[in-house]
Amino acid sequence: MTSLFEMQFFQNAFLMSLMLGFLFGLLSFFVVLRKMAFLGAGIAHTAFGGIAIGIFLGINPFYSSLVFCTFSAILINRLVRYGRISYDTGIGIFFSFSMALGALFISLKKAYTFDLKGYLFGNILGVSDLDILLTLIILFIFIPFVSSMFQKILFMSFDEKVAEVSGIHTQRLDTLLSVFLVAIIVVSIKIVGIILVSALVVLPASFGLLFFKNYRSVIFCSILYTLITMMSGLFLSYFLDFPTGATMVILGTILYFTAVLVLRLIKIK
Amino acid sequence: MDKKLTNQPAVALKNVTVQFNRLVILDRINLQIKSKSITSIVGPNGGGKTTLLNTILGITKPFQGQVQVFGLPPSQTETKGIFGYLPQGNHSDLNFPVNGYDVVAMSRYSQKSFAQKLNETDKNIIEKSLNTIEMLDYCHMPFGLLSGGQKQRILIARALAMEPRILILDEPSTGLDAVAQDNFYCMLERIRDNQGITIIMVSHDIGAVSGIVDQIACLNRKIHFHGDPQKGIPESALEAVFGKNIQFVYHDHRCQTCDHFS
């Protein structure tokens, strides 16, 4: 066990999972209550286009996908607000377009050996020191943001129109929340993977909502669940040599459905 | 100066037209709503009632004409806590993890700046609002588990806790049974008399509200009648709004139990 932590890559993966556990546990609460789950899935897939652009231009894929996804999220938001398309239509069109764009850019860069599987399903070896630093920065901005704006986001999620009438700048808050969603998803892609990250956006708060009816307990439970899932997924994937993201998501899903089943059985009795 | 303020109408619409995709929803509306009165807007489905409320609230911008709330356009009033608002529709998200108290507290937080907490005054206002609608005993129950009428009352308490000067209620009696409706209308009268709040509400049921409101406005794209319902609404106006061959049952809201139906 001690030798495990002497390895730099594992240290990084461990630290990353710890920070992401907090971030996803908290983020999930707002995503689920604001019914932004599909936006989460959409953004993760859009990141594929952003990563491919980065590789094509020879820049760090993190920056290119961050810019590309933020731009996409804001564009989707505007299209829905001012256009005549629904949220899921907008996201549906956008994310397949970005995936196609990604496939095109990668095929143009034939000589490049690209760890496609790693980006899609997560790779324990993928976390660099820079990724740790970036996640730490996000953590230090996101937590004060949430704790100071919590009640306003709660109001907006509960009843957007009334929140706006009572003087909350809902559109600004919504955009900020989308930007955080993008940043957290993009930074987690290396370890969890594009396809699987949407599970971490939805599962934690849904798990908390199974047990509790007040927001403090839901958030606490959600963070705890994410930490347990990510940590055990990390160790298991190392020892069994499974893709990290896949292990985390399978564990999390099993845990969720076990809880559903147990609660059902208790209720029947 | 003070006298001028009290004489000023709470809401004044001058020649207001609203259209969506060139379809005229509100057609040259002129309406003045007196301060500290209860006004009900009645009319058929699709008659523009909710649009009229949205125009007063500043959510919908008129195509032409002028809206004034205490002499100012709505864009300048929204952050000053003039409106308390109860939208139409029911809350179907039963899993939203808040209790009644949390819902009412939201309206106090919305007035706070960055990271400010509630103080004693806020807590008193929340309790007073819950007390007004007689929900103090139930406010710690999860919101999703409350009945339709109880939810509605909590949402009205939230509107009251904003300490509004104008309370805007869109079909507030939805989901309330006959007795609860009577109690609800008595409560509105108390709010008007004790707190001096102007109340504007939308209703389908002209008979139920005509006993308590000060003014009634019959709306079907245009305002066909605006005045005191006790003095009688001209039949031509009712026909223009609701069509022919329609009967109205007038209720007396003071009667608590109805022994017979006639």
Look at residue B172 in the predicted model and tell me its pLDDT: 83
B173-188 residues labelled b (16+ CB within 10 A) or e (exposed):
beebeeebbbbbbeeb
Instruction: Please judge whether B97 and A152 are an interchain contact, meaning their C-beta atoms are less than 8 angstroms apart.
Output: no
What's the 3-state SS for B51-91?
Answer: HHHHHHHCCCCCCEEEEEECCECHHHCHHHCCEEEECCCCC
Residue B107 shares a structural domain with residue B219: no
Instruction: Please judge whether A161 and B87 are an interchain contact, meaning their C-beta atoms are less than 8 angstroms apart.
Output: yes
Q: How many domains does chain A have?
A: 1
Residue B153 shares a structural domain with residue B178: no
Q: Is the pLDDT of residue B12 over 50?
A: yes
pTM of the model: 0.86
Query: In this predicted model, which residue has the larger pLDDT, B82 or A136?
Result: A136
Question: Is the residue at B61 inside a domain?
Answer: no
Q: Is B163 on the interface with A (CB under 8 A)?
A: no
Eight-class DSSP state of B191: H
User: Considering only alpha carbons, which residue of chain B is nearest residue A170?
Assistant: B110
Residue B119 shares a structural domain with residue B45: no
Residue B75 shares a structural domain with residue B176: yes
Query: In this predicted model, which residue has the larger pLDDT, A163 or B2?
Result: A163
Query: pLDDT tens digits for B180-236?
Result: 778 888 888 888 888 889 999 988 777 777 778 888 888 888 888 787 777 777 777
Instruction: Please judge whether B81 and A167 are an interchain contact, meaning their C-beta atoms are less than 8 angstroms apart.
Output: yes
Residue B77 shares a structural domain with residue B179: yes
Closest CA to B107 of B132, B91, B126: B126
Which residues in chain B touch residue A37, judged by CB atoms under 8 angstroms apart? none
Question: Is the residue at B31 inside a domain?
Answer: yes
Q: Is the pLDDT of residue B2 over 60?
A: no
The mean pLDDT of chain B is 81
Question: Is the residue at B44 inside a domain?
Answer: yes
* Closest CB to B97 among A159, A166, A214: A214
Best residue of B95, B108, B165 to probe chain A, by most A CBs closer than 10 Å: B95
Instruction: Please judge whether A167 and B110 are an interchain contact, meaning their C-beta atoms are less than 8 angstroms apart.
Output: yes
Eight-class DSSP state of B245: S
Residue B78 shares a structural domain with residue B189: yes
Q: Is the pLDDT of residue B111 over 90?
A: no
What's the 3-state SS for A112-157?
Answer: CCCCHHHHHHCCHHHCCHHHHHHHHHHHHHHHHHHHHHHHHHHHHH
Q: Is B102 on the interface with A (CB under 8 A)?
A: yes
Supply the ipTM of this predicted assembly.
0.84
Residue B77 shares a structural domain with residue B184: yes
Question: Is the residue at B245 inside a domain?
Answer: yes
d(CA B149, CA B104): 16
* Closest CB to B98 among A152, A158, A168: A158
Residue B150 shares a structural domain with residue B172: no
Q: Is A143 on the interface with B (CB under 8 A)?
A: no
Residue B35 shares a structural domain with residue B115: no
Question: E strands, B120-188, where?
Answer: 166-170
Alpha helices in A160-214 (DSSP H): 160-165, 170-192, 197-211
Domain boundary among B163, B180, B214: B163
* Domain CATH for B11: 3.40.50.300
Full domain range(s) for residue B256: 1-50+69-82+165-262
Query: pLDDT tens digits for A197-218?
Result: 889 999 999 999 999 999 999 9
Full domain range(s) for residue A118: 2-268
* Domain CATH for A150: 1.10.3470.10
User: Considering only alpha carbons, which residue of chain B is nearest residue A165?
Assistant: B78
Residue B4 shares a structural domain with residue B45: yes
Which residues in chain A touch residue B83, judged by CB atoms under 8 angstroms apart? 165-166
Give the number of other CB atoms < 10 A from CB of residue B4: 8
Give the number of other CB atoms < 10 A from CB of residue A246: 19
Helix-helix angle A61-82:A129-158, to 10 degrees: 10
* Closest CB to B96 among A33, A165, A167: A33
Q: Is A163 on the interface with B (CB under 8 A)?
A: yes
Question: Is the residue at B147 inside a domain?
Answer: yes
Domain boundary among B136, B163, B190: B163
Look at residue A100 in the predicted model and tell me its pLDDT: 93
Q: Is B136 on the interface with A (CB under 8 A)?
A: no
Residue B185 shares a structural domain with residue B73: yes
CA atoms within 13 A on the CB side of B181: 20
Look at residue B258 in the predicted model and tell me its pLDDT: 39
CA distances (Å), A77 to each of A36, A73, B31, B119, in order?
11, 6, 36, 36
Q: How many domains does chain B have?
A: 2
Residue B139 shares a structural domain with residue B202: no
Query: pLDDT tens digits for B129-167?
Result: 898 888 888 899 999 888 888 888 899 899 889 888 899
Instruction: Please judge whether B59 and A209 are an interchain contact, meaning their C-beta atoms are less than 8 angstroms apart.
Output: no
User: Considering only alpha carbons, which residue of chain B is nearest residue A163?
Assistant: B110
Domain boundary among B114, B145, B163: B163
